[in-house]
């Protein structure tokens, strides 16, 4: 069993103006001469966390974190305009060039895995390899499972609270009903919807419920960006051209070393997606954690992710 590295502070941070509207916040930690890795957070809209650094040996890795458009310390907060998958990929490239990095590893779970796959498929020559967790490819069936029907069978209690802001007549399309409220000019309507949306995910993210996670997700600043940005991406199908775009383009990245870590009891991003990716990309190592749900902080997931970064510690050293 592997455990997190001790907490560390970044040695560098900054804000980058990536459009007329958006500034993105980034941090660098670990060894400035180390192997570069870009850490991609989930949601979209979740923001990066200090604990994400602790999955890497700080003597070996140059750890780059960024808050994607509209969340964390990036501004404007919870902004949906000019906020698409392809803009985020451009931002990652702007940041890479700003930091004078030729190539880097990608590390991401959940939506972070979606974005890492989309980035690597767009810029395969910039990637040294991928560590992915809780695979999410933003296909219609994945959205339907978690936000319409499926996960509701496993968490009927938490589901009631998720349904509450939506009147009976609008429940046949919950993502659309939520989108309407999360983009409402009435801050009270938006706030209530954001909280209910975020709490649904907090209630289902771990094998065993975690009150700390519930509290963090329920906090207004976090919930507003998380819910608004997630729903915006989901109603737009991730801005992908086809539902299976990420699977269809696996051939572009098959040469890259990769590890896929998946919790068997992941309710947010069920293992079906990791399995589909594994079938399309058998060269990537699939690690199934038998006693874990979705969160990267579940003990078995943590351990498997750290094993993966340790395995890649010898790669691409300068
Ligand atoms: N969205 C799942 C996701 O990407 C469907 C995600 N879930 N929780 C998170 O991200 C954070 C821990 C980053 C908030």
Does residue 42 have its Cβ closer than 6 Å to ligand 1?
A: yes
Q: Which one of the listed residues 266, 273, 278, 295 is annotated catalytic?
A: 266
Can you list the domains of the chain with their CATH numbers?
Answer: 12-139+239-314 (3.40.50.1820), 142-238 (no CATH)
* pLDDT at residue 314, as a whole number: 78
* pLDDT, tens only, 166-196: 999 999 999 999 999 999 999 999 999 999 9
Residue nearest to atom 14 of ligand 1 (CA): 46
Q: What is the mean pLDDT of the chain?
A: 97
pTM (2 d.p.): 0.97
Q: Of 63, 56, 126, nearest to 89 (Cα)? A: 126
* pLDDT at residue 318, as a whole number: 43
Our measurement of the distance from residue 22's CA atom to the centroid of its chain's CA atoms, rounded to an integer in Å, reads: 19
* pLDDT at residue 240, as a whole number: 98
Question: Is 48 annotated as catalytic?
Answer: no
* pLDDT, tens only, 54-89: 999 999 999 999 999 999 999 999 999 999 999 999
* Helices and strands in the chain, H and E counts: 12, 8
H or E element that contains 154: helix 151-154
Sheet containing strand 258-263, strands side by side: 12-17, 23-30, 61-66, 35-40, 104-109, 127-133, 258-263, 285-289
Query: Which residue is associated with the tokens 């974190």?
Result: 65
Number of neighbouring beta carbons within 10 Å of residue 310:
14
197-207 mean pLDDT: 97
Does residue 46 have its Cβ closer than 6 Å to ligand 1?
A: yes
H or E element that contains 104: strand 104-109
* pLDDT, tens only, 12-37: 999 999 999 999 999 999 999 999 99
Residue nearest to atom 5 of ligand 1 (CA): 43
* pLDDT, tens only, 90-109: 999 999 999 999 999 999 99
Does residue 268 have its Cβ closer than 6 Å to ligand 1?
A: yes
Angle at CA 237, nearest 5°, toward 231 and 239?
A: 105
Does residue 108 have its Cβ closer than 6 Å to ligand 1?
A: no
Question: Is 110 annotated as catalytic?
Answer: yes
pLDDT for 317 beyond 60: no
296-309 mean pLDDT: 98
* Cα of 43 from ligand 1 centre, angstroms: 4
Does residue 41 have its Cβ closer than 6 Å to ligand 1?
A: yes
């Amino acid at each position: 069993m592997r455990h997190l590295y001790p907490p560390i502070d970044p040695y560098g941070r900054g804000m980058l103006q990536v459009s007329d509207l958006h500034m993105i916040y980034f941090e660098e930690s670990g060894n400035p001469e180390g192997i570069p890795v870009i850490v991609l957070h989930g949601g979209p809209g979740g923001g990066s966390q200090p604990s994400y650094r602790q999955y890497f040996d700080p003597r070996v890795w140059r750890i780059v974190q960024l808050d994607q458009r509209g969340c964390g310390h990036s501004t404007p907060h919870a902004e949906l305009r000019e906020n698409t998958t392809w803009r985020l990929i451009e931002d990652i490239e702007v940041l890479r060039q700003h930091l004078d990095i030729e190539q880097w590893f990608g590390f991401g779970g959940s939506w972070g895995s979606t974005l890492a796959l989309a980035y690597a498929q767009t810029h395969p020559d910039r990637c040294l390899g991928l560590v992915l967790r809780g695979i999410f490819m933003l296909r219609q069936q994945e959205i339907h499972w978690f936000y319409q029907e499926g996960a509701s069978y496993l968490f009927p209690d938490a589901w009631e609270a998720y349904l509450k802001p939506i009147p009976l007549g609008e429940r046949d399309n919950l993502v659309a009903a939520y989108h309407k409220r999360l983009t409402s000019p009435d801050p009270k309507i938006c706030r209530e919807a954001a909280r209910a949306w975020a709490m649904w995910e907090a209630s289902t993210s771990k094998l065993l419920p975690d009150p700390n996670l519930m509290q963090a997700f329920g906090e207004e600043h976090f919930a507003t960006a998380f819910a608004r940005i997630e729903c915006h991406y989901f109603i737009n199908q991730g801005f992908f051209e086809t539902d299976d775009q990420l699977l269809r383009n696996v051939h572009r990245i098959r040469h890259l070393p990769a590890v896929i870590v998946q919790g068997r009891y992941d309710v947010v991003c069920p293992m079906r997606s990791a399995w589909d990716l594994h079938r399309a990309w058998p060269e990537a190592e699939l690690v199934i954690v038998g006693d874990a749900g979705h969160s990267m902080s579940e003990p078995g997931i943590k351990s498997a992710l750290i094993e993966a970064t340790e395995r890649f510690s010898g790669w691409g050293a300068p």
